[in-house]
A and B are shown apart, each in its own frame.
Chain A
Amino acid sequence: MDIFGVDQRIVLTAFYSGLGVGSVYVLVALGYNLVYRATRVFNLAQGDIVSWGGLIAFSLLVTHGFSPLAALPVIIGATAVLGFGVERIAIAPLTKALSFGWVLTTLGMSVVLRNVAELQWGPDPLRVPAFVDRAPISLLGSPFRVDFMVTIIGAAALVALLELADRKTIIGKAMVATALNRELAQLRGINVGLLGIGSFVVAGALGGIAGWLIAPITFASFNSGVLIALKGFLAIAIGGWGRHVGALAGGLLIGVAEALAILWIDVDFRNLVPLPLLAAILLIRPQGLFGRQVERHV
């Protein structure tokens, strides 16, 4: 059976790969969410951490012949350190009262990371092998790549874990409190500074994993993370502020829409795909799919 002139099995395959790529966006979006909730900052260097994740994966897997399972902790460790470094260098020294300074400092970090990466790995895209070397599994008559399956399940599990942490653990509750009101959270004895560092570290690790997962599909290069970071941005804009479930829904939605647009229209349209989604959300539900709206207090 054809759907808009394309065989339904191919549509289904595109749908699967959309979910796979979408869950990479979810990881990036989760990183933004964590950092934003703890610090009210958008780390403009997040995209470069994603690039670094892919490039480090290349060095480990291709140059040094690591097995994927051995490479993963190294990638996580290295990008977590990058996240830590960004917080210490670009965020910590800023005076609290001046709210926009981080634009400049994280932009500076981004420029530095990108150019160091270019010096280290060169300007050309590098091919990184997929981390699962198995034949696709057939689902509803269409092949489903195993690495996509793992990514999707991993992203969904992570979202569930974070949502659960918000409700059940003391750190999660501290995060929620800090997101609502930093000063009040501080008065409650929450160490918001430490929470900020922690969020950057976790976001760095998530960015690194995302970079590693996406590298087999898009290749790894010093600037490959920028567009992925933008999709992560948009995932939360569509899904709703500060909500992990929103990041999941937004990321998957963008991933699937992109895959289908490439299939039905043209590969050039990849970056335009979120536009109608975003427009629809803004018109119907400006707080995002899962965002909450509260009456303004004066």
Chain B
Amino acid sequence: MSSASMKRSDAGALRTLARRVAYSPGTGTVLLLAVLAVFALWPLVVDDQLLLRRLYVIGLFALIAMGLNVSLGRAGELFLGVAGLFAAAAYISGALTTHEDFGLSPLQAAPITIVATVVLGVAMGLVGLRVSAWYFAIVTFYFAVVIPDIATSLDVLEEYTGGGLGLFGVPRIEALGQVFGRRETYWLIVASIAGVYLLTRNLFSSPWGLALATMRHSDVAVQALGASTVRAKMLAYVFSSVPAALAGIIWVHTETGIAQGNFPADLSFLIAASIMFGGMGTLAGPIVGTGILQYVPQFFDAFERYELIIYGSFLIVGMVLIPRGVVHETMKWVGLLRLRLVPLAPGAPAPASAQAKPGAASGEASGALLTEDVAARLRVSPDRAGLSATGVSKSFGGVAALRDLDFEAAPARISALIGPNGSGKTTFLNLVLGYYTIDGGAIRVDKGDIGGLAPHGRVRAGIARTFQAPNVVPELTALENVLAGMFMDRRATLVEYLLQLPRARAAGRASRAQARALLAAVGLEGVADIPAAALPSGQQRLLDVARALATGPRVLLLDEPASGLSGAETEALGRLLLQLRELGLAIVLVEHNVPFVMSVADSVTVLDRGERIALGPPAEVQRDPAVIASYLGEQFEVDTGEPDA
């Protein structure tokens, strides 16, 4: 081998390596941990007490912000109670270590404090299950304000919290034979940030994390995954409470006391602002945002009395100039720079930051076939009975939307439901999924009445649905959207996912392979890593179908799946539906594209003003005079492409 060709292959290997490093999702984590390591090491080299003090405060706020980021950034829940939890943890740990009834050391008190704080946080969050988003924000904000008040004004607590005079003589943390000074405390904070960062990262990529991201979009979307919104919210609150508890514990044992006025009322908003400034829902956002918002004011010191005025203006200008936050904005530039410096290999999938080309990967040629693996997963055993609805009625304020409807969707059949707008089609789907309460009649899946089940329980019973407005999470990539759909197929416990134990890693790999295969089945394999928001509406609709299939349904409800699809996409969708029928799924097709319905459906039910006016095979229904009069119209001619039509 000549030395020239050696060099060339070396350069090639180097390029491949650079590409792998630049595009690996692990690179960000390594970078962040490296930055944290630098932060951890500098006090050994430089002796700057003032900076140490400053970073200690920033670190504590960053911790609280990282917790809030799980509820606010990831799940979209304005859980402003975290500042109150910080105060509560400080008081609890302070009381446990100073009052003679307990006499615990800080380390002994820590687990009790954390558990108590989490219980308090979840109790606060319980309120959120009953009220709307803004209501929830106000109520939890108020809780954050009154917790310090409760601690200081209730006579029964005075003995433990020191009442209005404040709490003194709280011991410092002692571990490894060392009383924690400023520097040790600082290390403890850096370590806590690293730990919370890694746990949050693992949470975000786990099925639960995807469910939380879906919740930011809507509660209905979470239920459509088969996840309970109650449990998802509780999880978010637990994740928000623990870092606040840690921060409270570290703070109280460093300050060795609590004075009135330590917890200003707008602390909660300040922490929320840090997350928004850094970048909502990003892993580094809360750290970066807190760092900037807490560190920047010192530069305004020179302006003395005008310092805070300038700071307030900085908040406004910052938000107006970079509304998505520092991290999102930086990542955009990093992504562009990366494409420039380390171009992708030809034929490699486009990175998430690239724009989707409409129609480029819509399976026009591929024919959208299910792989063996996916087919095996989706196959429904032949003893299933499908969906049957009898005598279903529903009215809204005296107006009957559905009257005594009988509807049957047998397994391995495509049962279409058509009718003019307002005929009750979507109402029926909402009744099946449990979004409306049924007035009369019964809906059964596999002969079991599902009337008593919550929406997510119905998804678990084997019903999946696509939506008129595609139910995809815009911020998540196409692949992540399908992965979110596989929520019920968790093959490891939450703890395993959080710690990335072997079973969770294996489950993650298997799920990703399956999700890619499902994307291929709807012709979206080329856009797997592109955010759903960047996809054209037709592809979003197909993605919604893939997401619904990912739940492994026995009954599949499709709400106008063909609208917005191109001719080729509609054809591919038709082929996919026929394949799914072969696998034994009971398919309910609500659709306005009559030629499409006539070409794939086995039976057609026609609704008009809430009542069934026809039921039969497509050829028969389209000749029915009542159907022609109410829906199809006299002029209608069908081209089903079948010889007997």
Contacts and interface: CB of A to CB of B under 8 A. Distances in A.
Contacts of B313: 108, 112
B305 A101 contact: no
Contacts of B135: 237, 241, 286, 288
Nearest to B471: A298
A138 B280 CA distance: 57
Contacts, number: 132
Interface stretch (B37-45, B206-214, B264-272, B632-640): B264-272
Contact of A109 (B145, B150, B316): B316
Interface stretch (A1-9, A54-62, A87-95, A167-175): A87-95
Contact of A103 (B145, B273, B396): B273
A266 to B, nearest CB: 7
Q: Name the prevailing secondary structure of the A interface residues.
A: helix
Interface string A40-56: 10101000000000000
Interface in A80-105: 89-90, 93-95, 98, 100-101, 103-105
Contacts of A288: 135
A233 interface: yes
B313 to A, nearest CB: 6
Interface class of chain B by DSSP: helix
Contact-residue size bin, chain B (C-beta under 8 Å from the other chain): 35 or more
A101 B456 CA distance: 32
Residue among B150, B276, B316 facing the most chain A CB atoms (10 A cut-off) = B316
A282 to B, nearest CB: 6
A89 B436 contact: no
Interface string A202-233: 00000000000000000000000011001001
B315 A298 contact: no
B127 interface: yes
A226 B265 contact: yes
A227 B264 CA distance: 11
B510 interface: no
A241 B311 contact: no
B315 A274 contact: no
Contacts of B430: 298
A296 B435 contact: yes
A103 B276 contact: yes
A184 to B, nearest CB: 15
A286 B138 contact: no
A113 B134 CA distance: 24
B379 to A, nearest CB: 29
Contacts of A104: 273, 276-277, 315-316, 318-319
A227 B265 CA distance: 9
A124 to B, nearest CB: 16
Given A36-B134, A100-B280, A269-B153, A274 B309 contact: no
Q: 7 smallest A-B Cβ distances: which pairs?
A: A108-B315, A111-B312, A112-B312, A268-B153, A286-B130, A108-B316, A115-B308
14 contacts: A36-B134, A40-B134, A42-B137, A98-B324, A110-B312, A112-B312, A116-B309, A233-B141, A237-B138, A274-B142, A275-B142, A278-B142, A286-B131, A287-B131
Interface of A: 36, 40, 42, 44, 89-90, 93-95, 98, 100-101, 103-105, 107-116, 119, 226-227, 230, 233-234, 236-237, 241, 266, 268-269, 271-272, 274-275, 278, 282, 286-288, 295-296, 298
